[in-house]
């Protein structure tokens, strides 16, 4: 690739990156992180009500740019700048529309949960022995569960195993 081709490609990439940023405002003081993880190194503090640009989103995290500083913050630490009073665009596909942060017409319910896990994160996941040990401490015997149910006046009902179907005899396949 010639130098001119490389220069043109770099300019086009920079232009595409610059036009994809969406204006937003921090709703509280934020510590920008180097990576989208709670235990990541802090890059810089950002005060509440600071205008920022949203560059990217990864799960429950958004990559923000404030001046010359770039870092990651939690999704719920920002709101789209449009929510501060600017009109929303119809049929848009920007970050504000995607994140449902812009003010506008909505249905009767709004969901605020964020899954935050993608296929790559699940493939790289490893077991946490300490958390598993904690989970095991919550296990109860059938007798303990029955006694608890009796004190709460709960009725017995059959529930199929996850991934299994009930057979005519009542067992799982």
* Per-residue model confidence as pLDDT tens digits over 38-75: 899 999 999 999 999 999 988 889 999 999 999 999 98
| pLDDT average, residue stretch 130-145 | 91
pLDDT of residue 114: 56
Tell me which residue of 173, 75, 73, 168 sits closest to 115, measured CA to CA. 75
154 versus 106: the higher-pLDDT residue is 154
| Separation CA 64–CA 61 (nearest Å) | 9
Which of the two residues, 150 and 115, has the higher pLDDT score?
Answer: 150
Domain membership of residue 85 (yes or no) is: yes
Question: Is residue 15, in this structure, part of any structural domain at all?
Answer: no
Task: Flag whether 13 is in a domain.
Answer: no
Reduced to 3 states, what is the DSSP secondary structure of residue 109?
A: coil
pLDDT band at 96 (very low <50, low <70, confident <90, very high): low
What pLDDT does residue 42 have?
93
What is the structure's pLDDT at 83? 47
Contacts of 72 (CB under 8 A, 6+ apart): 32, 33, 34, 35, 36, 37, 40, 58, 61, 62, 63, 64
Output the domain CATH number for residue 56: 2.30.30.40
Q: Which residue has the higher pLDDT, 1 or 158?
A: 158
pLDDT bracket for residue 32 (50, 70, 90): very high
In a domain, 152, yes or no: no
For the whole model, what pTM was predicted? 0.42
Question: Is 133 within the bounds of a domain?
Answer: no
**Which domain covers residue 84, as residue numbers?**
21-120
> What is the number of structural domains in the chain?
1
- 14 within domain boundaries: no
With respect to residue 70, please indicate whether it lies within any of the assigned structural domains. Answer: yes
Is residue 154 assigned to a domain? Answer: no
Q: What is the pLDDT of residue 7?
A: 53
């Amino acid at each position: 690739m010639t130098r001119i081709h490389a220069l043109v490609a770099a300019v086009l990439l920079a232009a595409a990156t610059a036009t994809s940023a969406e204006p937003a405002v921090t709703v509280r003081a934020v510590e920008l992180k180097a990576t989208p993880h709670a235990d990541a190194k802090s890059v810089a503090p950002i005060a509440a009500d600071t205008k920022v640009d949203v560059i990217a989103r990864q799960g429950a995290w958004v990559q923000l740019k404030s001046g010359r500083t770039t870092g990651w913050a939690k999704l719920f630490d920002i709101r789209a700048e449009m929510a501060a009073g600017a009109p929303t665009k119809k049929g848009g596909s920007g970050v504000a529309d995607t994140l449902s942060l812009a003010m506008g017409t909505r249905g009767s319910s709004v969901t605020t949960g964020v899954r935050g896990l993608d296929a790559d994160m699940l493939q790289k996941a490893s077991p946490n022995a300490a958390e598993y040990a904690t989970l095991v401490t919550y296990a109860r015997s059938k007798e303990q569960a029955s006694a608890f149910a009796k004190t709460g006046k709960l009725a017995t009902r059959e529930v199929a195993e996850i991934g299994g179907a009930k057979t005519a005899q009542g067992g799982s396949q």
